[in-house]
A and B are shown apart, each in its own frame.
Chain A
Amino acid sequence: MTRSPEMTPVDGAVSHERMAYLDHAATTPMRPEAVEAMLPFLTARFGNPSGAHATSRAARRALDGAREELADVLGCEESEVVFTSGGTEADNLAVLGTVAGRPGTVLVSAVEHRAVLAPARVVGAHLGPVAADGTIDLAALAALCEDAAERGRPVTLVSVMLVNSETGVIEPVAGVIRTASQHAPDALVHTDAVQALAWLDVALLAEGCDLVSVSAHKFGGPKGVGALVVRERAAPILRPVLHGGGQERELRPGTQNVAGAVAMATAARLAVSERAATVERVAALRDRLADGLVASVGAIEPSSRELRVAGSCHLRFPGVSAEEVLLLADREGVAGSTGSACASGAREPSHVLLAMGWDEHAAREAVRFSLGATTTADEVDQALDVVTRAVTHLRRATAGSG
């Protein structure tokens, strides 16, 4: 086989001198402050917050403190924060818990994360279409609300994410709230804000939402902890999905992950306090990477940068398979993703891109690089160099093999 000299992809190396981790939408490294904050609750202060003795009370105080801190960041009351095992559980509780309390039609956008789409499918939800740029079609959403009312099964929940996990597109959640209040006034509005906290003012943007999901590991917290904000209006409607003890406002049983909650609150506070500076710095890095790849190999940006969060570098490389680009990049220490994978680990054609009107072939050429608070200029330069060589090599090799 012929190998082009500038590309030595199969180097057999497991560790790389230089790593460029550009998959922050999948997960982020933990902030040292968050690690520090959680350690005491994994060791000396190990108590179960539900007990009555001093050890328990210490844990309870820490949990209350974390709840207060997170409520402050999310712009809600302490009593409105329900800790969960992560974003997926928060989304499931929002969808299934609402329908259990108030049967009716569920409307979700076609580009939701599977954590919303899958439970929505269980309750027979209708999918709201999106425009070619990935934003929800509000007129179609209004029509779906009216249709449901006419069928005698009014809308009980509208769920539209704040930021798309694959494209980074910011959804017009304010418009969703307005549409719902006009066309389905009794419906609760949920937003999956899992991808948003690091980049946007969630407290402001989700102010009018009845239910808001967040996940700690997307902003420097640990995996395995998240929260659902359940506002006063939603609380009487929502029913638990898991059944057990009365922890978390009778909505989510199970001994709380005290260490996780403390670390999440710490990471959230830091992310929000540093957000303006991070957004400015990361947006410049993202522009450097995206502009560079547009210039070097003709990458196409599927949606305008203005619509997307600062960390999102979502690109299509016409003529080459995303799987192959990512494999070559991985072998030179650059981590990216397509944003969707199935249980086996195979990369799936993205339902998000298909909903935006792409065909399967084009969807297989889309790569998601996602930058984060820890991303450096060196990482971006490395990625620019490696991905440019990978795409150039693959284009030539693909042309060569016909």
Chain B
Amino acid sequence: MQVLVAMSGGVDSSVAAALLLEQGHEVVGATMKLWGGASDSGCCSAADVRDARRVADQLGVDHHVFNFTEEFAETVVEPYVADHAAGRTPNPCVECNRHLKFRALLDRAERLGFDALATGHHARVVGATSGHRVRLERGTDRAKDQSYVLSVLTASELRRVLLPVGELTKPDVRALAGDLGLATASKPDSQDVCFVPARRPGGGYGAGRSAFLGERMELHPGAVVEAATGRLLGEVDAIELVTVGQRRGMPSGGARRRFALAVDVASRTVLVGDDEDLLVEEVELASRTWVGDELAVGSSCAVQVSAHGRPRPAVTTATGVRYVERHRRVAPGQLVACYVGDEVVGSGVAS
């Protein structure tokens, strides 16, 4: 097959390209330039493009840089800012997968005549070539599994996607990269949101994010109110940066730990309570997608609410999911992925 490999400049996508080449595919590498801002970390920097190009040179494959900055600003960064302005906690990496990697780039790959797009994600596409139902499953390395951030994909996209490192453990990936002498073999894993500059030294927790958002929207102080009593407990500097479930920055009540239960930007109020108060039975979901067929209401599944969170037993409802046992509430804007066993069946965004 002719495969376009999305090469971020990291070790996983480097090895993905190497594996596909070894399997006899015709491979071309592409790095997406997504952001022109000051951030020089993550997936957008000139240094990462150089790394990807070096690996492509080592493998003897062509490499291109695609400029998707306009689409990225529109579908990832602007909604990220708007979500924060509304007191939500967005997950931009998921939206990047949804709109950029597996839409804009996948469409381009198809237009350019490639049979498939490959990435370095740790997850597995099963059944794509057998004519059976195509499935998305957890990666072999459970600690590095990235099926959560891919749970927004659908079968029609997955049929055109290859995830070659999903069968490997991370140590296997690094060992392979080392054996092949790839330039990225010991490059650290990427962290954080790629377009938000890392916080400045001494800038305190979240200074990178607050500085980034502060340049693009107005941040407002908010009142911290005890949910049970309506008592004013204190203030936060920027209500738009408070995440439901957060404890840091919430005023303590002696020995009691308090958590943000709800963020109301309109009234500039954060309601707080005990960890017990965080527990909910149901999660309402927006932007629901199904990998294949929709699960019937009342179906058993397991839901995962963060990249490496523990899956919790639940059943589907008409508008979301209901936990079998009450669980901490999910911050609005966060992705909720539904699994049956190791298989991703769909996802939605907590509302």
Assembly CA distance A393 to B2 (angstroms) = 17
- CB of A52 closer than 8 Å to a CB of B: no
Instruction: Look across to chain A and name the residue whose beta carbon is closest to the beta carbon of B4.
Output: A10
Q: Which of A12, A343, A348, A398 contacts B26 (CB 8 A)?
A: A12
Name the A residues within 8 Å of B64 (CB-CB).
Answer: 327
Of A8, A14, A345, the most chain B CB neighbours within 10 A belong to A345
For window 244-294 of A, CB contacts with B under 8 Å fall at none
For window 327-384 of A, CB contacts with B under 8 Å fall at 327-328, 342-349, 360-361, 364
Asked whether A401 and B111 contact (CB < 8 A) given A327-B64, A364-B70, the answer is yes
Least distance between A240 CB and chain B CB atoms (Å):
30
Instruction: Look across to chain B and name the residue whose beta carbon is closest to the beta carbon of A347.
Output: B67
- CB of A53 closer than 8 Å to a CB of B: no
Asked whether A345 and B49 contact (CB < 8 A) given A9-B112, A364-B70, the answer is yes
CB–CB A324/B108 < 8 A: yes
Least distance between B134 CB and chain A CB atoms (Å):
14
Name the B residues within 8 Å of A7 (CB-CB).
Answer: 113
- CB of B33 closer than 8 Å to a CB of A: yes
Name the A residues within 8 Å of B62 (CB-CB).
Answer: 14
Number of residues from B at the complex interface, CB < 8 A: 29
Least distance between B107 CB and chain A CB atoms (Å):
5
CB–CB B113/A3 < 8 A: yes
Least distance between B26 CB and chain A CB atoms (Å):
5
Assembly CA distance A378 to B70 (angstroms) = 37
CB–CB B70/A401 < 8 A: no
Least distance between A164 CB and chain B CB atoms (Å):
21
Name the B residues within 8 Å of A9 (CB-CB).
Answer: 112-113
Name the B residues within 8 Å of A344 (CB-CB).
Answer: 31, 33, 45-46, 49-50, 65
Name the B residues within 8 Å of A394 (CB-CB).
Answer: 111
Instruction: Look across to chain A and name the residue whose beta carbon is closest to the beta carbon of B36.
Output: A342
Instruction: Look across to chain B and name the residue whose beta carbon is closest to the beta carbon of A321.
Output: B108
- CB of B28 closer than 8 Å to a CB of A: yes
Mask, B96-121, CB within 8 Å of A = 1, is: 00000000000111111111100000
Least distance between A26 CB and chain B CB atoms (Å):
16
CB–CB B2/A10 < 8 A: yes
CB–CB B116/A1 < 8 A: yes
Of B26, B67, B108, the most chain A CB neighbours within 10 A belong to B67
Name the B residues within 8 Å of A1 (CB-CB).
Answer: 109-110, 113-116, 160
Binding site secondary structure of chain A? loop
Least distance between B9 CB and chain A CB atoms (Å):
10
CB–CB A346/B113 < 8 A: no
- CB of A397 closer than 8 Å to a CB of B: yes
Name the A residues within 8 Å of B107 (CB-CB).
Answer: 401
Binding site secondary structure of chain B? mixed
Q: How many A-B residue pairs have CB under 8 A?
A: 70
- CB of A323 closer than 8 Å to a CB of B: yes
Mask, B58-70, CB within 8 Å of A = 1, is: 0000101111011
Assembly CA distance A10 to B33 (angstroms) = 22
Assembly CA distance A321 to B113 (angstroms) = 15
Mask, A11-44, CB within 8 Å of B = 1, is: 0101000000000000000000000000000000
Least distance between A131 CB and chain B CB atoms (Å):
25
Least distance between A88 CB and chain B CB atoms (Å):
18
Name the B residues within 8 Å of A14 (CB-CB).
Answer: 62
Name the A residues within 8 Å of B67 (CB-CB).
Answer: 323, 346-349, 364
Name the A residues within 8 Å of B115 (CB-CB).
Answer: 1
Assembly CA distance A397 to B111 (angstroms) = 5
Name the A residues within 8 Å of B45 (CB-CB).
Answer: 344
Asked whether A10 and B113 contact (CB < 8 A) given A1-B160, A342-B36, A346-B65, the answer is yes
Assembly CA distance A80 to B28 (angstroms) = 50
Least distance between A6 CB and chain B CB atoms (Å):
11
CB–CB B33/A346 < 8 A: yes
Name the B residues within 8 Å of A342 (CB-CB).
Answer: 33, 36, 46
Assembly CA distance A401 to B112 (angstroms) = 12
Name the A residues within 8 Å of B66 (CB-CB).
Answer: 323, 346
CB–CB A324/B112 < 8 A: yes
Q: Which of A321, A345, A347, A401 contacts B110 (CB 8 A)?
A: A401
Assembly CA distance A3 to B36 (angstroms) = 33
Instruction: Look across to chain A and name the residue whose beta carbon is closest to the beta carbon of B159.
Output: A1
Q: Please, could you name 26 A-B residue pairs with CB atoms under 8 Å apart, sorted by A? A: A1-B113, A1-B114, A1-B116, A2-B110, A8-B113, A9-B113, A10-B112, A10-B114, A12-B2, A14-B62, A324-B108, A327-B112, A343-B46, A344-B33, A344-B45, A344-B49, A345-B65, A346-B66, A346-B67, A347-B67, A348-B67, A349-B67, A349-B70, A364-B67, A397-B110, A401-B110
5 more CB-based (< 8 A) A-B contacts, given A10-B2, A327-B64, A361-B70: A1-B160, A7-B113, A324-B111, A347-B65, A394-B111
- Which 9 residue pairs across A and B have the least CB separation, nearest first? A346-B33, A344-B49, A397-B111, A346-B67, A10-B2, A9-B113, A346-B65, A345-B65, A344-B46
